[in-house]
Structure formats: C-alpha cells, structure tokens
C-alpha cells in the first residue's frame, strides 16, 4: 500500500498546531482550576465555589433563554428571507448580503446606542432587547450559512413540488425546506445561540446582567475560581455542541437503517 506522505505530514502539522494553540493552554487551565486550597493537591473546590455563588443558575438560565430565543428568531427571520432570495428575488441578494455584513462594519458602541434608540420603549426596558441585538450580531454568519445550505439543495423544484401538492408557504418551509436544509439551518441556529450565550460587549454597554457579565464580576473575587469558571464555560459549550452533533448523527443513522431494511 502506497503511503501518502504529504497527507500524513499535513495531519501531523495540524495536530501539532492544535496541541500548541488549544490543548496546552486548556490542559493548563484545567490543571490550575483543579488545585486545592492554597494551591495544594487537586480537588473540585473551585468548581463547587462557582455553583455556590449567588446568581449562578439564574444568570446561566437567562443566557440560555436569550441564546435560544436569538437562535429561533434568527431562523424565523432568515429562513424565509434566504428562501425567497433564492427563489424569486435573486437581484436583491447582494443588497441583503451587504445589510447582513453591516454588524461587522459598524462599531459595537454605535450599534448598541443607535439600535437601543430605535427599539420600542417596552423593549428598551426589558432584557429581551438583547435577543434582537444577538440576532443582528449573528446575521453576517447565519446568512452565509443559510445561503450555502439552500444553494446545495434543488430548492426551486422542491418548493414547486410541495406547492403543486397543495401545501401553503408556511407548510412548504416547515415540512420541506427546513428538513432538506437542516444541516445549514441547525448551524445557523447554533451560531446565533452560541453568540447569544457568549456575548459580553453590548450586554455590558446596555447595563444588563447575563451569565457573561456575571462571570466577569465574580471572577474578580477568586483567581482560581475564575479559571474554574472559564474552564466550566468552555466544557459546557463543548458538551452542548457534542450532544447536538450526537443527536443529529443518531437521527441520520436511524434514517439510513430504516431505508436499508426496507
């Protein structure tokens, strides 16, 4: 068997870089966060300290709620938009593309202050306004993900087939487009979700308190605890993404098995 040396050397190089950039710092953080009182021994003291801090669960659940709502709102807004852009409004695609890029071009301070004033007053007084900011911040990424996901499926004929069979537009989007482009749609959702639960700048500028701002405040009280907190946040995000990936691959596997046994 011929061994492809260049392929193996590329894999080796990428692994080495990953080790230097990710594995070493995170391993060091993990080791540091597990150190006992006064740096002696290893135990879960610092992690237990996080869970006992006031507001841990309330801030975490608020961030999860805001992230979830941002992810859903993003899909409700962008899936139909991207669908119609692909089907019949191709000429407006570059305009929408430009609008979606604006959150990367406009300084966050201007965005926060400007958009805050544009919000209806009942939203200005509610933490729910953050959902809209998270949606805006995620637009540059979610639009591109959805755009390429919809380009990868025969969208026009699927929509026409669904419509000719009697389905309304909402039914066509929910029953045909969403499942056919679910890879891209779930990526768009998790991008907004992840951005929502990790966003700090706008939340802090608008004087709201979420898990990220709470993390910064609490970190100032305990050095080892702050390391434990950042490690916990990182592992929590990884666990969330791995769970989602596993659920999605299990569903794919089940579909495949069902097809093969028929």
Partner 1 sequence: MSKRVTSGSELVISGISRAFGAVQALDRFSLTIAPGELVCLLGPSGCGKTTALRIVAGLEKSDAGTVMIDGEDLLAKDANQRDIGMVFQSYSLFPNMTVAENIAYGLRVRKKSKEQINKRVAEMLELVSLQSKMNSFPHQLSGGQQQRVALARALAIEPRVLLLDEPLSALDAQVRTQIRDEIRRIQIESGTTTLFVTHDQEEAMAISDRVGVMQHGRLEQIDTPNTLYNKPETTFVAGFVGITNYIPSVADSKNEVQVLGQVLEISEHSSVVKKGEEVRALVRPESIHVEKASHGAKIITKSFLGPMTRVGVDAGLAELIYAEMSSKEAKKFDTGDHVKISITTEMVMVESV
Lookup: tokens for 82: 């991207």
Residue 261 Cβ vs partner 1, minimum distance, rounded to whole Å: 7
**Of these, 13, 14, 95, 165, which contacts partner 1 (CB under 8 A)?**
165
Q: Is 43 in the site for partner 1 (CB under 8 A)?
A: no
Residue 250 Cβ vs partner 1, minimum distance, rounded to whole Å: 15
Placement of tokens 């966003």 in the chain: 199
Measured torsion, CA atoms of residues 146, 149, 152, 158, in degrees rounded to the nearest 10: -80
Placement of tokens 């004929």 in the chain: 157
The answer to whether the CB of 133 falls within 8 A of the CB of 202 is yes
Q: Is 262 in the site for partner 1 (CB under 8 A)?
A: yes
**Of these, 180, 185, 188, 191, which contacts partner 1 (CB under 8 A)?**
180
Distance CA 108, CA 137 (A): 9
Q: How many CB atoms lie within 10 A of CB 138?
A: 27
Residue 237 Cβ vs partner 1, minimum distance, rounded to whole Å: 28
Q: Is 64 in the site for partner 1 (CB under 8 A)?
A: no
Residue 106 Cβ vs partner 1, minimum distance, rounded to whole Å: 38
Q: Is 110 in the site for partner 1 (CB under 8 A)?
A: no
Return the SS3 of 191: helix
Element (H, E) at 91: none
Q: Is 168 in the site for partner 1 (CB under 8 A)?
A: yes
Question: Candidates 51-59, 61-69, 158-166, 204-212 — which segment interacts with partner 1 by CB under 8 A?
Answer: 158-166
Question: Candidates 94-102, 113-121, 163-171, 218-226 — which segment interacts with partner 1 by CB under 8 A?
Answer: 163-171
Distance CA 100, CA 93 (A): 10
Q: Is 160 in the site for partner 1 (CB under 8 A)?
A: yes
Distance CA 72, CA 166 (A): 27
| β-bridge partners, 42 | 35
**Of these, 30, 72, 108, 167, which contacts partner 1 (CB under 8 A)?**
167
Distance CA 67, CA 210 (A): 11
Beta carbon nearer to partner 1, 167 or 240 = 167
Q: Which residues bind partner 1 (CB under 8 A)?
A: 153-154, 157-158, 160-168, 171, 175-176, 179-180, 182, 255, 258-262
């Amino acid at each position: 068997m011929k061994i492809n040396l260049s392929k193996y050397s590329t894999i080796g190089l990428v692994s080495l870089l990953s080790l230097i950039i990710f594995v070493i710092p995170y391993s060091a953080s993990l080791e540091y966060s597990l150190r006992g009182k006064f740096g002696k021994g290893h135990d879960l003291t610092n992690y237990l300290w996080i869970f006992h801090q006031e507001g841990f669960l309330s801030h975490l659940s608020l961030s999860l709620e805001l992230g979830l709502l941002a992810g859903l709102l993003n899909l409700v807004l962008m899936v139909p938009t991207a669908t119609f852009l692909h089907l019949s409004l191709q000429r407006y695609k570059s305009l929408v593309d430009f609008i979606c890029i604006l959150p990367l071009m406009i300084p966050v301070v201007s965005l926060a202050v400007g958009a805050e004033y544009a919000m209806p007053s009942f939203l200005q007084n509610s933490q729910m306004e953050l959902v809209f900011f998270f949606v805006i911040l995620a637009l540059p990424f979610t639009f591109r993900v959805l755009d390429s996901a919809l380009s990868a499926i025969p969208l026009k004929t699927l929509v026409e087939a669904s419509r000719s069979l009697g389905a309304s537009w909402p039914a066509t989007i929910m029953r045909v487009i969403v499942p056919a482009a679910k890879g891209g749609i779930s990526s768009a959702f998790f991008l907004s979700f992840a951005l929502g639960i990790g966003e700090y700048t706008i939340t802090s500028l608008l004087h709201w308190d979420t898990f990220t701002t709470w993390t910064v405040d609490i970190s100032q009280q305990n050095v080892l605890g702050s390391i434990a907190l950042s490690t916990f946040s990182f592992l929590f995000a990884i666990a969330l993404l791995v769970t989602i990936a596993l659920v999605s691959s299990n569903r794919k596997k089940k579909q495949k098995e069902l097809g093969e046994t028929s």
